[in-house]
Amino acid sequence: MILKQVGAFDCVPEEDLLHRIDRLRHLMAGAGIDFALMIQNVDRFYFTGTMQKGMVVVPVDGEPLVFIEKGTERAAMETPLPLTVVRNDREIQRILSDRHILKGKAGLELDVLPVAIFQRLKRVIGFDGYADVSETIKEVRAIKSPFELAQIRKSGEMLTHVFARAREEVREGRTELEIEAALMAESRKMGHQGFLRMRGMNQEMMTMTVQAGITGAVATLLDAPITGAGVTPAVPQGSSFKVVEAGVPVTIDYGGGYNGYITDETRTFVVSDLNEVFRKPYETARAIIEDVLTFARPGTDCTDIFSRAFETAKKAGLEENFMGHGEGQVAFIGHGLGLEINELPILTARHSRILEEGMVFAFEPKFVLPGHGAVGIEIDLIVGAHGLERVTTSSPDIVRL
């Protein structure tokens, strides 16, 4: 296969795809949805193993239909599921109508579906009732299979390698962008997919952000505690031309990307001795990391994880700096990982979510100090049968250079 010759990774096993579809059908039945109609790239890939242009329709009590409009030869190589080649949505409508699938309530990805496309689908496909199937899809995707966990661990190997290489690249006087450029080149040589996916309107994420001091305290539109200043108002996040200074922490927030699966960790580096203003925040972040590794397991409520972390920050007198500062403060300390960087579970004080075996999440206690910068740690964790498993092997400790 030519895709293998040029470096394409393993295709999704058929048994995984069938299990995902069966679980989706089960949850659809409970939600009163008669058929799911999916057009978002990642959702279609998750349930079919191919992202070639088209639409996936899953009846609650029938076989899935994988419609492909473009990239048909490649789709046939990527998915074991039967394909139906079509030229447009009207052909899809005729097939669905002939099979009596359009009766009942359609499930649509309303969290990402633009109104104009929704109106076109409603007009051309011709469904009457509809409901949001997005949360149902997210629930299915929250639990990772052994195949998915293997991809995530391989993605984590990129993090381990790049953070080890960062010891050679972080040095006084070097710019954030110079460090990022060297490290991203290293990760692409390993087969990094090139970018990260994030679900939602206006949600964009850099593959790597290096911040060296004051740039870590710049608040921006991104819902993250440390976003960096970037180089332009047109992309107001990421690394900048700020240079590394002795004693000032350099955080590197990096997302691995292997075979679609994203990992996301942060390490802190410092040239010489860490300035005193950053010591307590770093030690507090380290204490929060140690606590979650001993406390959390299947059955733990994510709100309890957040509350314990917040109480640790409060005892240190750092609650106003915890996970950002002022308008830049975020309401979570962790987020699920998978094909997108903002999957379930979300670890927040507001929404109860019980950890289940097979979930994967990034845990990121970070502190922002106005006028100085930011410091923190982020590690990725797999929820195992008896506790949490680290995705990477690199130490979360601060690296002194």
Residue 97 near residue 126, CB atoms below 8 Å: yes
Residue 1 contacts by C-beta under 8 Å, 6 or more apart in sequence? Answer: 8, 77
Domains 2-141 and 143-400 share a fold: no
CA–CA distance, 357 with 382 (Å, rounded to integer) = 8
Q: Where are the alpha helices (DSSP H) in 143-275?
A: 146-169, 176-189
pLDDT score recorded for residue 3: 65
Which of 133, 148, 113 lies closest to 339 in space, CA to CA?
A: 148
pLDDT score recorded for residue 6: 65
Residue 1 has pLDDT above 70, yes or no: no
pLDDT score recorded for residue 9: 80
CA–CA distance, 225 with 366 (Å, rounded to integer) = 7
Amino acid letter, residue 306: F
Measured from the Cβ of residue 40, the count of other Cβ atoms closer than 10 Å reads: 18
What percentage of the chain's residues is helix, strand, coil (to nearest 5)? 35, 20, 40
CA–CA distance, 223 with 1 (Å, rounded to integer) = 41
Residue 284 near residue 312, CB atoms below 8 Å: yes
CA–CA distance, 364 with 198 (Å, rounded to integer) = 17
pLDDT score recorded for residue 5: 59
Q: Which residue has the tokens 């090139």?
A: 194
Give 277-292 pLDDT, tens digit per residue: 999 999 999 999 999 9
Give 114-173 pLDDT, tens digit per residue: 999 999 999 999 998 999 999 999 999 999 999 999 999 999 999 999 999 999 999 999
Q: Is the peptide bond before 345 cis (omega within 30 degrees of 0)?
A: yes
Give 88-109 pLDDT, tens digit per residue: 999 999 999 999 999 899 999 9
Residue 332 has pLDDT above 80, yes or no: yes
CA–CA distance, 333 with 348 (Å, rounded to integer) = 6
The full set of domain ranges for the chain reads: 2-141, 143-400
Give 37-66 pLDDT, tens digit per residue: 999 999 999 999 999 999 999 999 999 999
pTM of the entire predicted model: 0.96
Question: Structure tokens of 146?
Answer: 């052994």
pLDDT score recorded for residue 8: 72
Q: What is the mean pLDDT of residues 80-95?
A: 96
CATH 3.20.20.80 fits 2-141, yes or no: no
9-34 burial code (b ≥16 CB/10 A, e <16) = eebbeeebbeebbeebbebbeeeebb
Tell me the CATH number for domain 143-400: 3.90.230.10
Question: Structure tokens of 294?
Answer: 């001993």
